[in-house]
Structure 1
Amino acid sequence: MAVRDPEATKARIFEAAVTEFARHGIAGARIDRIAAEAKANKQLIYAYFGNKAELFATVLERKMLDLAESVPVDPDDIEGWVDRLMDYHAAHPELLRLLFWEGLEYGTEQLPHESGRQEHYVRKVATLKDGQDRGVVTDAIPPGDLLFLLTALANWTAVVPQMRRILTGDAEEDTARLHASVKEAARRLVAR
């Protein structure tokens, strides 16, 4: 008789959900496909994660936490932070896809688990504000706006790879040049 491992099952469901939501968004994702990929029954998905919207919110929340832990904002090294952020998204393209699906689904409406997300961003903004207070980052732009602009600058290359390829080329040296350009733009954006 096989022994059930609830944690292993939850992990398989989570990974299958990441893939499914990144490919199909919230509306297009199917619990049946997640269950089949995870080799779990649908009732376990509902028992462990709630409905499909809650599962998506949980997936995105965990992925955002991984990003925050892997690539903390560093006002003392904005170019390095931007470089690490671009590398992270190149290695984990599913996160930006999940964020864009969320944007398409919710627009400007309140998000599930939004208060947790706000706390996450409050810490990042506070880190930039500290850099402003210490004089290593410009205070000409409010710190929340600055975080938004820097993140957009770093993320856009991964969000629209077709535009990146058409405008800047797709060879290895083109990618390296674009990385350098994005870091230079970030450096200028935060310069005092």
Structure 2
Amino acid sequence: MAAPRDPEATKARIFDAATAEFAAHGIAGARMDRIAREAKANKQLIYAYFGNKAELFSQVLEKRLTQLAVDVPVDAQDLDGWLDRLMDYHQANPELIRLLYWEGLEYGNGAFPREETRREHYDRKVEAFAEAQRQGAISSDIPAADLLFMLIALVSWPSVQPHMRRLLTGDGEQDRERLRSSIRTAAHRMTRR
């Protein structure tokens, strides 16, 4: 007797397999047959659940970004805490950074699926920094959107270029802690009143 079908479990396996595939190969290089094989799912079922490959990528990335927003909400009032939590998250979830950079490589100069939803998501984060600036908690010398962009870049770059981080700053525990402290110092200089 065949086991009963569980569509939600199948979708979860597809999401996990798609995350790994897109993180490793990008959108253009990802293969639906590899995702299906890894998820132990029928390839046609992937299309039925998620549409085409670009749509599956968008849904995977949106789900990962939503999880980041839940796990590490922006907190401009506790800059050190937010930076530490964000660095920890990226270290524990390197696939998110890879997905974002693949998205940038493939859609960087044009509109991408679900762009308006993403803009709304980032607008809320920018507003948290703008509110901290209005309250005088952080400097308003740099516009809130620019500041958030620079802080995200500062925090994510060690995960984007781990080999460069290793070559320039070292790879020991003390080296990583020193770099973390340096990132906090740079962030404080950008936000100091």
2:156 aligned residue? 155
Using the size of structure 2 for normalisation, the TM-score is 0.98
One-letter amino acid matched to 2:137: V
1:28 aligned residue? 29
- Do residues 95 (structure 1) and 96 (structure 2) align? yes
1:187 aligned residue? 188
- Do residues 146 (structure 1) and 147 (structure 2) align? yes
Structure having greater relative contact order (Cα 8 Å, sep ≥ 6): 1
Residue by residue over 1:32-69, the C-alpha shift from the partner in whole angstroms, topping out at 9 and shown as x without a partner, is: 00000000001110011000000000000010111111
- SS of 2:68's equivalent in the other structure is helix
Q: Give the distance between the partners of 1:42 and 1:132, measured in 2 at CA.
A: 50
Q: Give % identity.
A: 62
**1:111: Cα distance to partner?**
0.9
1:40 aligned residue? 41
Q: Give the distance between the partners of 2:90 and 2:76, measured in 1 at CA.
A: 19
**1:87: Cα distance to partner?**
0.5
Q: Give the distance between the partners of 1:110 and 1:2, measured in 2 at CA.
A: 43
- Do residues 104 (structure 1) and 105 (structure 2) align? yes
**1:21: Cα distance to partner?**
0.2
Q: Give the distance between the partners of 1:67 and 1:105, measured in 2 at CA.
A: 22
Structure 1 unmatched runs, 5+: none
Q: Report how many residues are paired.
A: 192
User: Residue 22 of structure 1 contacts residue 97 of structure 1 at CA under 8 Å; is this kept in 2?
Assistant: yes
**1:82: Cα distance to partner?**
0.8
User: What is the RMSD computed on CA atoms of the aligned residues?
Assistant: 0.6
Residue by residue over 1:144-183, the C-alpha shift from the partner in whole angstroms, topping out at 9 and shown as x without a partner, is: 0000001101111111001100000001100011001101
Using the size of structure 1 for normalisation, the TM-score is 0.99
- SS of 1:138's equivalent in the other structure is coil
Structure 1 runs of 4+ aligned residues shifted over 2 Å read none
Q: Give the distance between the partners of 1:4 and 1:179, measured in 2 at CA.
A: 46
Residue by residue over 1:64-123, the C-alpha shift from the partner in whole angstroms, topping out at 9 and shown as x without a partner, is: 111111111111111111111110000000000001101111122001000110010010
Residue by residue over 1:119-157, the C-alpha shift from the partner in whole angstroms, topping out at 9 and shown as x without a partner, is: 100100000001001000111111000000011011111
Structure 2 unmatched runs, 5+: none
Q: Give the distance between the partners of 2:88 and 2:174, measured in 1 at CA.
A: 15
| Matching of residues 164-179 of structure 1 within 5 Å | 164-179=165-180
| Matching of residues 71-90 of structure 1 within 5 Å | 71-90=72-91
Q: Give the distance between the partners of 1:99 and 1:160, measured in 2 at CA.
A: 14
Q: Give the distance between the partners of 1:17 and 1:116, measured in 2 at CA.
A: 21
1:119 aligned residue? 120
Q: Give the distance between the partners of 1:47 and 1:25, measured in 2 at CA.
A: 21
- Do residues 132 (structure 1) and 141 (structure 2) align? no
| Matching of residues 2-21 of structure 1 within 5 Å | 2-21=3-22
1:66 aligned residue? 67
